[in-house]
């Protein structure tokens, strides 16, 4: 790993790198929370100043049909004080990368030509970090704009409201799909965040 990265950025990357599930939440509130598996796997892109994760998820009953493949680029944008942000990148063609959360050897072959940065203000998250006892942290990532993350794929327009919280024990995601005509949330964290626990740690892949 780049030893020039801030300790806070490295810790954020380690907390996020993993395979997650929200089983207890889904068992308790099945009407509102689908039982999901979420992959956040390191990829060797933007290594000069960032930690980059490949993200995708799948319903536990359809693990062979993962969806929403994207990249999270974790960056330090200032040093005094340390300021972190998360940039989102979409794949120009998602079909070749679906399922790569379980194929780390193929993730090593990703190139910058396959992705493009989502530049709408709501696609970038500012990260608030709070240092806890024992050198632990709590991170909260919020959009820099009240407008949702807007983008187009294959001629269709989409809007997503983004955000997450993470510590050493739990990841909470606030992502919601927004109806572009009404502005209302139509899928995702409609009744509160999805609450995930890490099942497999991928932080050793952050080399």
Residue 91 has which token pair? 């794949």
pLDDT in tens, 25-62: 999 999 999 999 999 999 999 999 999 999 999 999 99
Question: Residue 1: which pLDDT band, with cuts at 50, 70 and 90?
Answer: low
**For the chain, what is the mean pLDDT?**
94
User: What's this model's pTM, rounded to 2 decimal places?
Assistant: 0.95
121 phi and psi angles, rounded to 5 deg: -55, -35
Ordered by where they begin, the domains of the chain are: 7-205 (2.40.128.590)
Q: Which helix (H) or strand (E) holds 153?
A: strand 149-153
Q: Locate all alpha helices (DSSP H) within the chain, ordered by sequence.
A: 7-16, 23-28, 104-107
CA distance 144 to 147: 9
Interior angle at CA 73, CA 134 and CA 76, nearest 5: 55
DSSP character for 9?
A: H
pLDDT in tens, 65-94: 999 999 999 999 877 677 999 999 999 999
């Amino acid at each position: 790993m780049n030893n020039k990265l801030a300790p806070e950025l490295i810790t954020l990357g380690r907390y996020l790198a993993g395979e997650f599930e929200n089983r207890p939440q889904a068992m308790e509130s099945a009407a509102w929370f689908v039982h999901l598996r979420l992959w956040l796997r390191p990829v060797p892109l933007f290594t000069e100043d960032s930690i980059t994760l490949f993200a995708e998820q799948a319903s536990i009953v359809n693990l062979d049909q993962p969806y929403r493949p994207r990249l999270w680029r974790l960056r330090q944008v200032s040093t005094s004080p340390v300021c972190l942000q998360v940039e989102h990148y979409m794949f120009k063609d998602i079909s070749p990368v679906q399922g790569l959360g379980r194929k780390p050897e193929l993730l090593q072959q990703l190139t910058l030509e396959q992705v493009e940065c989502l530049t709408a203000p709501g696609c970038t998250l500012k990260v608030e970090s709070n240092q806890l006892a024992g050198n632990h942290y709590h991170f909260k990532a919020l959009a820099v704009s009240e407008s949702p993350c807007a983008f187009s794929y294959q001629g269709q327009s989409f809007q997503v409201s983004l955000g997450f919280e993470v510590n050493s024990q739990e990841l909470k995601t606030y992502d919601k799909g927004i109806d572009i005509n009404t502005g209302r949330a139509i899928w995702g964290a409609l009744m509160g965040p999805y609450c995930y626990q890490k099942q497999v740690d991928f932080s050793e892949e952050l080399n």
